[in-house]
Amino acid sequence: MPTVLVTGSNRGIGLEFCRQYAEAGWKVLACCRRPEQASNLRGLATEWPSVSIHQLEVENFDQIDALAHALASEPIDVLINNAGVYGGSSQNILGTLDYDLWARVLKINTQAPVKMTEAFLPHVLRSQRKLVLAITSLMGSMGDNSSGGAILYRTSKAALNAAMKSIAIDLKPRGIGVLILHPGWVKTDMGGSNAPTSPAESVAGLRRVIEDFKPGDSGRFLDFRGRELPW
């Protein structure tokens, strides 16, 4: 049974990843900040015994190390760095920037996925598929940026893309693949109700991209339909 670990799995895209991988027969290590409040995820774990819930606040690097230690015996086929924050809309343009908030957004969106990859490298190395995913955003693309704003979020995802591109190159000799994936504009708390794509459609597309992965794809920046995106 292949194993997937998902951060930010209590709602939105992360919850949908857990649902679809559980239905597909995978073992799911579902990480979230507050398991006691994660009623949808707990419902899923009741329905599917292959889903286990693990407390993890990704900005707490000691917690990441402790969880990696606690799960030491688990090979992880696909490590999904999904947890993320937008960082507010009013503190995101010149004149209103909140620099402490910016540092926190960078820690959650950029540093935490790198730290997760570092801490869980032994687990991924011991698996069959050996894949690390960064759920990024097209908003991290400079080539695509025609509307400005969102400085906190854009910089955090652009830096995530740069870090994951390097990690893809660095881990290639060890047989680990890295994909930098944009889920589309998705109807979640972050994406809002006007988003055109449902979490089910986005995650089904992302799972196809993951299934189609070939070693030559490592380090590519793709959307949920498998289309190449501009850096």
Residues near ligand NDP (CB under 6 A): 7-8, 10-14, 32-34, 57-59, 82-85, 108, 135, 137, 182-183, 185-186, 188-191, 195
Cβ burial 98-127 (10 Å sphere, 16+ → b, else e): eeeebebbbbbbbbbbbbbbebbbebbeeb
Complex with ligand NDP: residue 175 or 196, whichever CB lies closer: 196
Closest C-alpha to 63, from 125, 112, 14: 112
CB of 12 to ligand NDP, least distance (A): 2
CB of 49 to ligand NDP, least distance (A): 22
CB of 59 to ligand NDP, least distance (A): 4
Beta bridge mates, 80: 6, 133
Torsion 223-226-230-231 (CA) sign = positive
Complex with ligand NDP: residue 63 or 126, whichever CB lies closer: 63
CB of 204 to ligand NDP, least distance (A): 15
Complex with ligand NDP: residue 171 or 186, whichever CB lies closer: 186
Instruction: Check: CB of residue 97 under 8 Å from CB of residue 103.
Output: no
Complex with ligand NDP: residue 125 or 198, whichever CB lies closer: 198
Cα–Cα distance for residue pair 202/220, rounded to 1 Å:
18
Complex with ligand NDP: residue 86 or 126, whichever CB lies closer: 86
- Residue 3, number of CB atoms within 10 A of its CB: 22
* Length of the chain counted residue by residue: 231
CB of 175 to ligand NDP, least distance (A): 26
